[in-house]
Every structure is written in C-alpha cells, then in structure tokens.
Amino acid sequence: MDVRSLFAAKNYAASRPATAPKADAGGTGEGFQTLARDFAATLQEGENVAKAAMMGDADPHALVQALAQTELAVETAVTVRNKVVEAYQEILRMPV
C-alpha cells in the first residue's frame, strides 16, 4: 500500500465524523414539518372564515384578509415546489 493513500484514508476517516449529521439536532425534517403544519393551519383558517362569512357570522374585511393570507401561502408553496423540481432536474443533468 502506498504511504500517500494510507494518509489519505486516515485523514478521510478523521474528517468524516465532523460532517456526519447529529442525531439530537432538529435537522431539516422538523423544519419542513413545521412549514407543512403552518401551511395547513393557514388553509384551514381561511376555510373557516369563508364558511363563517357565507353564514353571515364573519366580517367581510376578515374574509378578504384570510383569503389574501391563503393565496400568499399557496403561491409560496408553489414557488418552493418549483424550486425543488428545478433543483432535481439540475441534478439529473449533471454528468456522472
């Protein structure tokens, strides 16, 4: 075995634990779960206000505000989805 490859393997083994994810860290999974919950809550709130407005129990201003928040949430979700698809397609185009 070449001495240089031995040192390279040793250095790689030493640097690998530094880049490994930590089990106790929140990670991006929790972030996406929180975003999904917030998105669903915004949609649910908009739906509840719309139902209340149809029955005459909600202020029209509250309805417009809830619908604007829902529209913004949906546009944001679509934009994020488009960026994820674009990144995936870019990865597929990379040469191997």
Q: Please tell me the total number of residues recorded for the chain in this structure.
A: 96
Residue 72 CA to residue 90 CA, distance in Å, equals 27
Residue 66 CA to residue 45 CA, distance in Å, equals 7
How is the chain split into domains, by residue range?
Answer: 27-93
Which ranges of the chain have pLDDT less than 70? 1-6, 8-9, 12-28
Q: Supply 85's token pair.
A: 């698809």
56: left (phi over 0), alpha (psi -120 to 50) or beta: left
Q: Which residue has the tokens 């930590």?
A: 22
Buried b (16+ CB within 10 A) or exposed e, 6-25: eeeeeeeeeeeeeeeeeeee
Q: pTM for the whole thing?
A: 0.62
3-state SS, residue 22: coil
| Tens digits of residue pLDDT in 6-23 | 676 677 666 655 555 566
Question: How much is the pLDDT for 3?
Answer: 62
